[in-house]
Chain A
Amino acid sequence: MKKYTSFFRLRFAMGLSYRAAAWAAVSTQFAWGVMEIAMFQAFYQAEPERFPMTLEAAVSYVWLQQAFLALFAAWMLEAEVFESIKDGNIAYEMCRPMKIYPMLFVRALAMRVSRAALRFGPVLLVASLLPGAYGLRAPQGIDRFCLFLGAMILGVLVTVAFGTLVYGITFFTISPEGLRLLVTSAMDFFNGAIIPLPFFPDEMRKVMEVLPFAAMQNVPLRVYSGDLAGAAAARAVILQLVWLAVLVAAGRIVMARAERKLTVQGG
């Protein structure tokens, strides 16, 4: 176990060393959040009765999404991992007395957490200071906040498990480009990164809510404001657990096959 925690530590420390990137990200995320909220407000003012969330819920959704972007962003797959599969540097990782799946999992998790660690503070601070309808409200009740934290941890694990599965598949396709494009577009669309799921037409939403993508950021961001509560929230969290188990199992199977059939590229 210690080897995996050390792996996490080093990857985490590495993530912390990119300070300039973090500042750039914080300002981008802040600007993006303001723009999105302005858009939602325009919709809300036009036709409040057809707005599927409360405005407050939509605003907190946006701010939390921006603050924790690094935890859930689809495109944050590690280029280094793809690169090392493509050029064969992964050979060294395979010469270690470690299982490949947990290693890649821990590495992806550390990267996301380290990036988020530098970013969420400033965004949340500014968002909570913003006046009126633009601001992020304090959490309502300790129960809901705990559920939010739990759902967020599960959401991150599901996101990482999905990413690790993608790494596994890359062992077979060699070139990551096509797969990465497909996966990131699908993820952004289906997990509520572009538009929160309640805004989709009912029929479509029902399908989308059972997909693994809905088990990522969708649940925690909606639980926080109470948009998802009670039995619906419980169902969503159980679905997160199910998808986590399924994705981890699938990832391990793919990786085990890759290990056996793999050709390390280059001489």
Chain B
Amino acid sequence: MIMMNDICKSYHVAKRNAGFKEACRALFCREYETIKALDRVSFTIADGEMVGYIGPNGAGKSSTIKILSGILTPDGGACLVNGRTPWKERVDHVRDIGVVFGQRTQLWWDVPVIDSYDLLKDIYSISKETYKHNLEELTELLDLKELLKTPARQLSLGQRMRCEIGASLLHGPKLLFLDEPTIGLDAVSKLAVREFILRQNEEHGTTVILTTHDMQDIEALTRRIILIGKGRVLMDGSLEDIRRGGGNIDQTVARLYRDYDI
């Protein structure tokens, strides 16, 4: 159960115009702009739900995921994930969650993937039997067999992403946060990843929050969609609510962004 209540987060960003003169001026007098990344964001997600979290670039999607994973402290508001405040009880909280940041890597660069996995086993104190079982299941579903012996640096983006997703699920988390998990994947890998996420949800009742720009991910995986723009929740509904205008989903979403002026 995830509950977000009036979460706010703003960043200070140093801004200046282009050019050398401006750069010199900024040495002495720097202008900061406060950007409201999240402005009173509230939602509740029940156990076992699959939620698509969408919005244009810079809408605050990643900030929300970071707050939910306990690595970012918001300026205000309350958040409870399974009864815990993520950033206050970070270490206990993260035992129950799995996170995939599509643009980052958690695998150790110079050693075979399986070494990274073995380390995760110890970090999460996964028992031998559970680890063996989970690893076998993940290896089969994500087709990792050949990849596990390869050093992470020699994997292609799509292969690496499959390993990343595997790594985030080794400890069998109840909650899964996916921040653009299909970025850069080819068609086959995309389908495999989607299929896999669906099965995780069906078989293990994993709650999934997914941010993506790929509307087909959303169509394939989620029934509920939260639309965020300029740090505010603009819409919380089903795929049908978005589809109401008819037509292709990308166009519909683009129109939605324009309508909300975000």
Contact = CB atoms under 8 A, between A and B. Distances in A.
Contact of A95 (B92, B97, B103, B110): B97
Interface in B58-78: 58, 61-62, 66, 69-73
Contact of B125 (A3, A5, A262, A266): A3
Nearest to A267: B62
B110 A94 contact: no
A91 B71 contact: yes
Interface stretch (B24-32, B114-122, B195-203, B233-241): B114-122
Contacts, number: 80
A89 B105 contact: yes
B111 interface: yes
Contacts of B69: 91, 94-95
B119 A95 contact: no
B133 interface: no
Interface residues of A, number: 28
A91 B69 CA distance: 9
Query: Interface residue tally of chain B, by bracket?
Result: 35 or more
B91 interface: yes
Nearest to B58: A267
Contacts of A14: 108, 110-111
A179 interface: no
Interface in A235-267: 259-264, 266-267
Interface in A1-56: 2-3, 5-7, 10, 13-14, 17
Interface of B: 11, 58, 61-62, 66, 69-73, 87, 90-92, 94-95, 97, 99, 101, 103-106, 108-111, 115-116, 118-119, 122-125
21 contacts: A2-B125, A6-B119, A7-B123, A10-B111, A10-B119, A14-B108, A14-B110, A17-B110, A89-B105, A92-B101, A92-B104, A94-B69, A94-B70, A96-B94, A97-B92, A97-B124, A98-B91, A264-B66, A266-B104, A267-B58, A267-B62
State the 8 A-B residue pairs at the shortest beta-carbon distance, nearest first.
A6-B122, A92-B106, A94-B71, A267-B62, A3-B123, A97-B95, A95-B99, A89-B104
